[in-house]
Each structure stands twice: as C-alpha cells, then as structure tokens.
Amino acid sequence: MASNGSSTKPAKITVLISGSGTNLQALMDACNTPALPNATIIHVISDRKDAYGLKRAEAAGIPTTYHGILPYKKKYPDDSPNPHYQEARRVYDADLAEIVCRNKPDIIVCAGFMRILSTAFLAPVKATNTPIINLHPSLHGDLVGAGCIKRAWEEFEAGKRKETGIMIHYVIAEVDMGEPIVQEKIAIEGCGSLAELEERIHGREHGLIVEGTRIVIEGRRGEGENEG
C-alpha cells in the first residue's frame, strides 16, 4: 500500500456486491489515491456465487466470501405470507452481520448488493457503530425499491419527468429512505432508449460511490479527533 504521509490508520472498507462489480472496481482503483486516500478494502462479500466482482477482488488479493440464501431457504421453508418475516431471511441476515463484523470494518459499502437488509442485519451492525451506505439509482424520496431506472424511463416516455438521479445514502430499515450523503441529478433527455439511460446512470455511479465513501470516512475521522 502506498503511503500518503499520514499517520492515520487506513480506513477499513467491507463491500457487499451481487454482480459484475464495476462499482467495487471503482472503489478498488480509488483506494490510496486523492479520490479515496488512506483507505483499504478488507473484505468483499457476495450473495451470488458467480458474481464477477468476486473475481475482481480475488485478482487484487482481497479476501472474499460467498454468502448465499439457498441453504437457508432449504433449512427454513417459506411458511409466511409476508417475505419480510421469513425465518430464512432473518437467520441469513444475522449470519451476514456476523461475517461482516468479525473483521471490524470502519464502513460497509453496498455496491450493487441486490438484497434488502433487514433489522436482523442492521441491529447488530448498528451496535458496533459501523456506518452502512448504499448506492441507489434515484434521488432521495423519488423512486424507491427495485427497477428505478426502468420506471424513470417509462415516466419519461409518458411525459411525466425529464430527469432522474443517483444517490449514496445511509442504510436504514425503511428501504432507500436513509439520509442521503451525496446525490446527483441526471437528465434523461438525449437518451434514445432505456439502455442508453442505464449506461448514462452507471457511468456516473462510479464517481459518486467513491465520493460518498470518502465523505463518510472523513466524517468519522473528524468525530474521532473531536472525541480525543
């Protein structure tokens, strides 16, 4: 790791992913550069075994863990009409929290992690005072949940909107409603298709996830200095 001349301990980042890991790659490339100084990714966890992001991390020598839901579904069959209260999900999330917290990260970054984190995960992580942040392809309070880019495109085609956005926000139990750390508006006009809008949005995500991570890390260091 290159030194930046500071005696501050490197901020330890754990990243949760589900897919190709392009946002993970942006974080990896930014560590120990002016964009994200004195930071290191200590663990990458995926809920999908074939996620290419795991290969990116392994190639860089970063420890990885595959934590899939299927064994939990087999052990705890779904007998609830409300998926938010499935025992499989509760135990899965509790185990995920244990896996994440054992390395004592300074920040947890959801970089394209496609699972909703329940209180079974959030409560034990909150007890460690470790911030959890997430990348979401919409502005705060606008579009929540899955399929935001597609919904924004459909509203654009219907003449109901001209722009959408992306944000990095704190993760809380209310999905996509945590306090925004940084967000950016993105114009839809000029895109000829949903695919073009997706490309425009994804192209801006890489810089924003790095910026949001840096803001939180620097804020925590500031708090530590004040406490000292």
Sequence-separated contacts (24+) of 24-30 with Cβ below 8 Å: 24/53, 24/56, 24/57, 24/111, 24/112, 25/53, 25/56, 25/206, 26/205, 26/206, 26/207, 26/209, 26/210, 27/109, 27/111, 27/209, 27/210, 27/213, 28/56, 28/57, 28/60, 28/62, 30/210
* Catalytic site includes residue 206: no
Say which of 136, 140, 202, 206 is annotated catalytic: 136
Catalytic residues: 136
